[in-house]
Structure 1
Amino acid sequence: MGTTMNSPPRHGLARVLSKHGLCSRTQAAQWIADGRVCVDGRVVRDPEHPVVRGRQRIAVDGRDLDAAPRLYLMLNKPRGLVTTASDERGRDTVYRCFDGAGLPWLAPVGRLDKASEGLLLFCNDPEWAARVTDPLLGPDKTYHVQVDAIPDATALAALLEGVEEGGERLRAKAATLLRSGEKNAWLEIVLDEGRNRQIRRLLAAFDIGVLRLLRVAIGPLTLGELPKGQWRALTADEVRSLPAS
């Protein structure tokens, strides 16, 4: 019998676990296969078993799904790590920074590419993560970028005007010269939307190469003095401060 228009949506059990932020979908499927997950007091071993979130009691290892504590943290991502749980090419991932910490499953909130550094958020709260990464309503992101040129005022203004590249409009919300040497300079670039490798692509369009790229802030949340490769939990006030721009 089909569902009516007023019926709440049913989703596969593995998807529900992963969307709750408890684990990845692959992990969820394994937990289910191992008999660690119960629905309404009954062990379910089918990861596609349909459930209605909020209508059925889901437990993992005897603990109710909604009892899992929420955790939010920031990492000062080092250069050379990929932002993924596992890499098919065997490269080191950001999760190496959490080795031995005994943390629950946490997903990255947004991404930094392998060559980029700085502030990267993690949480097990998908709804909060979605607000922070929302391309229209999410907070601004601030970067310090070392470049192989010394852009003048005209070049900085061009970054704000932006360019069409790969079918996308790439532009900076703000671009400021922080300091310069004989052959290179540090810029502060603020983005109000997230596109793949946006800063590198934007600068490349003006024949400016990136030497280092460091994210220093997301909205009002700053990296501060957190050492490279280290992490810390966010305070309740910091969690509430996002996704404010």
Structure 2
Amino acid sequence: MERLNKFLAHAGVGSRRHCDDLIAAGRVKVNGRKVVDLGLKIDPASHDVSVDDHPVKTERPVYWAVNKPVGYLCTNDDPDGRPRAVELLPHVEQRVYTVGRLDEASEGLLLMTNDGELAHALTHPRFSIPKTYLVLVAGKPGPDDLQKLLDGVWLSDGKVRASDVRRLKPQGDSTWLRIVLTEGKNREIRRMLAEQGHKVLKLRRVAIGPVKLDKLAKGKARRVSEPELVELRRWVALASERIAKLKEKAAKAIPDGMKLTPRPKPTGPRPGAAFKPAGPRPGAAFKPAGPRPGGAFRPAAPKPGAAPQPAGPRPGGAFKPAGPKPSAAGKPVAAKPGAAFKPAGPRPGPARSPARPKGWRPLPKSR
């Protein structure tokens, strides 16, 4: 059993996302019945699948070895229209994709297939399938530099290491190295050597497991031979056995009292948690979009029962024209009613005592 979108993608209908769109649009039928379930699983041997009433048949698996030149991308879709590695196989009817990637500036061996299980095993670091590269670096790396590549180099996405590094021959001020990796991160070799102060001038992949580039010309492709394919599957089987043994050994190392059995995950609401429907909370008053129930409506007009206020001076208030006040300059200031008139000048009162002569002091008081 496999998912319907995966079956359609392997049959060459399109990418899995495109196949999901076809299923959601109701254009796919299984045994004559329209399906819209994106998670549906089928048995390719017993189910009849059609798209727009055209039957879809399973593609036979194909395996190709390609010598990618510099400047080609390892993608099936590029919006910028740059050259792609799949364009080197125009005669292949099946929808194939690359096993692993080489960046645009690198060249060498690519495996292209529609066998998803084998491609996953060849690229996943857990299986440790070796990939061999010939690298021309600037300068002359010493034994310490090569040992650091074997011990591991810290990059932004973790620690990476090479499984084997050898110095081959000098070329002017540069040096050819042979590097073997068992995992593939983005531009891993270039970043590792850059940490050691050596720029990569050329990078060519020459082998993936038992499949070798040999004398395949740039831009050309050949079928992977049957002996190579058998050897590839044998390497994957040995890696699977090794992984299973490591898991069994790790399980035995845990005491019986420490082993934990995973609890099944419920598919409904959490136990003990109240169900929360997508709407107002149960028991909560409904709040319509508008004025609050029971609250006074506040229109943008005067309050009900209030006299309208004309645009002008307030009712009952003295009119205050713009300009100087009536008591401004040019008019005498009238005295307040009932207040004594205060002329401008010194306040009326007793005469001031004359100024005391210099050196005068009062007599002491008698006791």
Q: Confirm or deny a common fold (TM above 0.5).
A: yes
- Aligned residues of 2:8 and 2:56 also touching (Cα < 8 A): no
Whichever of the two has the greater Rg, that structure is 2
The answer on 1:149 being equivalent to 2:139 is: yes
**1:124 paired residue number:** 114
Correspondence for 1:62: 55
Work out whether 1:78 is the aligned partner of 2:69. yes
Question: Aligned AA for 2:217?
Answer: P
- Inter-partner Cα distance in structure 2 for 1:27 and 1:234: 29
Q: CA deviation at 1:167?
A: 3.9
* Partner residue, 1:91: 82
Q: Give the CA deviation at 1:63.
A: 4.3
Change (3 A) 1:64 1:102: closer
Q: How many equivalent residue pairs?
A: 229
- Counterparts in 2 of 1:136 and 1:50: CA distance versus 1, 3 Å: closer
Residue 152 of structure 1 deviates from its aligned partner by 2.0
Is 72-81 or 152-161 further displaced after alignment?
Answer: 152-161
**For structure 1, which runs of at least 5 residues remain unmatched after alignment?**
1-7
SS at match of 2:193: helix
Alpha-carbon distance change, 242 to 30 in structure 1, aligned in 2, over 3 angstroms: same
Given that residues 26 and 34 in structure 2 are in contact (C-alpha distance below 8 angstroms), is that contact kept between their aligned partners in structure 1?
no
Aligned with residue 183 of structure 2, among 187, 193, 208: 193
Q: Which moved more, 1:216-225 or 1:159-168?
A: 159-168
CA shift, 1:241, in A, is 1.5
1:106 aligns with 2:99: no
Change over 3 Å in CA distance of 1:137–1:39 after alignment to 2: same
How do residues 41-60 of structure 1 correspond to structure 2 at under 5 angstroms?
41-42=32-33, 46=36, 48-54=37-43, 57-60=47-50
* Paired amino acid for 1:143: Y
Aligned counterpart, 1:4: none
For 2:135, what is the secondary structure of its paired residue? strand
Q: Name the CA distance, whole Å, in 1 between partners of 2:80 and 2:151.
A: 38
- Rounded to whole Å, the distance in 1 between the matches of 2:96 and 2:22 is 16
Aligned-residue identity in percent: 36
Note the aligned Cα RMSD (angstroms).
Answer: 2.5
Deviation per residue, 1:155-193 (Å, 9 max, x gap): 212211121111411211111111102310111000011
CA distance in 1, matches of 2:39, 2:217: 44
2:324 alignment counterpart: none
Would the aligned equivalents of 1:21 and 1:126 in 2 still touch at CA under 8 Å? Answer: no
CA spacing shift, 1:58–1:164, aligned 2, 3 Å: farther
Give the CA deviation at 1:51. 2.1
Q: Measure how far apart 1:17 and its partner are.
A: 2.2
Q: Which residue of 2 aligns with 1:184?
A: 174
Structure that is richer in strand per residue: 1
Contact 1:139 1:242 in 2 (8 A): no
- TM-score, normalising length from structure 2? 0.57
Contact 1:145 1:187 (C-alpha < 8 Å) held by counterparts: yes
Unaligned runs of 5+ in 2: 237-367
1:213-232 to 2 correspondences below 5 Å: 213-232=203-222
Question: What TM-score does the superposition give when structure 1 sets the normalisation length?
Answer: 0.83
The whole-number CA distance in structure 2 between the counterparts of 1:103 and 1:184 is 43
Q: Secondary structure at the match of 1:128?
A: helix
Counterpart amino acid of residue 84 in structure 1: T
Q: Does 1:175 align with 2:165?
A: yes
